[in-house]
Structure 1
Amino acid sequence: MDWIEQYSWVVWLVLILLFITIEMLSLEFTFLMLAIGSTVGLVAGLLGVPWWAQFLIGAAASVLLLLLVKPPLLRALRRGEDPAKSNVDALLGSRGQVVQTVSGHGGQVKLSNGELWTAIVPTDSPISSLEPGTAVRVLAIEGATAVVVPNERKLQ
């Protein structure tokens, strides 16, 4: 037990470095809060607090930081982000027109953004195929294939 009390600062430093390293890889602020909590535990140890109390103080500080500091910090960082959808998210719900008959095995559609996509109808759909000229809406993207359903409104 003497060893733990004498070298607890080394354990805290190792934890701090470990948490900071993981935070640099994940970038989600969870391990940053744990590193700061470990720093509070280290400071408590340097002030002469017993090792078991250091652990409780460090754990309490980490939990408080995770609950009280992390959520507002994430909100503040996301406040300036671009709300526009991109990549696959931008294609969901977009409209298009069947160019080559679309079935459960394949076909082609031209989307409203001008892109030509391989497409299929959903497997649970009552419709087995869509003929060329049919207006469609993108339901999902599976790999490089658009899952499309008939659209009620015609594409202009």
Structure 2
Amino acid sequence: MNIQSKYVGEIDIEERDIFSFEKGLPAFESETQFVLLPFGQDQVFQILQSVKSPEVAFVVASPFSFFQDYQVKLPESLQEQLMIKKEEDVAIFTILTLKEPFKDTSANLQAPVILNVKEQKGKQLLLNDSPYDRKHRIFPKELAEEGQR
């Protein structure tokens, strides 16, 4: 099936690659179907693209690519909702806020996107009382400052 995407124009996707978000994403409740698309040649960054609305697309990345000590405990209710049975069926992404210059880009570590890659189900998990920020820089401040010299 062909869909329009925000970053790569028209693209052909397989129905089996569509993730179902039962209640959409916060502020995008009517967007219930998304697909993961590559973002350029880099495998670190991907696009979580709405199947229905081309303008609804989020650049995402695994938080573990930038924060090795990042931890998320999935509530039992979420595991049941997404039909998660095994840890290896889970993929966790964080939505990025792209900045110019790119070294100032941040990640929303308070609200990771949880995907069951086996059942093609997803949900954005809001972590209450979290030690993480909504706008956590993905590159160390020293690296950003170094780039300004």
TM range, smaller chain? under 0.3
Which structure would you say has the larger Rg? Answer: 1
Structure with the higher fraction of residues in helix conformation: 1
Greater RCO structure (CA 8 Å; 6+ sep): 2
Structure with the higher fraction of residues in strand conformation: 2
State the TM-score, normalized to the length of structure 1. Answer: 0.21
State the TM-score, normalized to the length of structure 2. Answer: 0.22
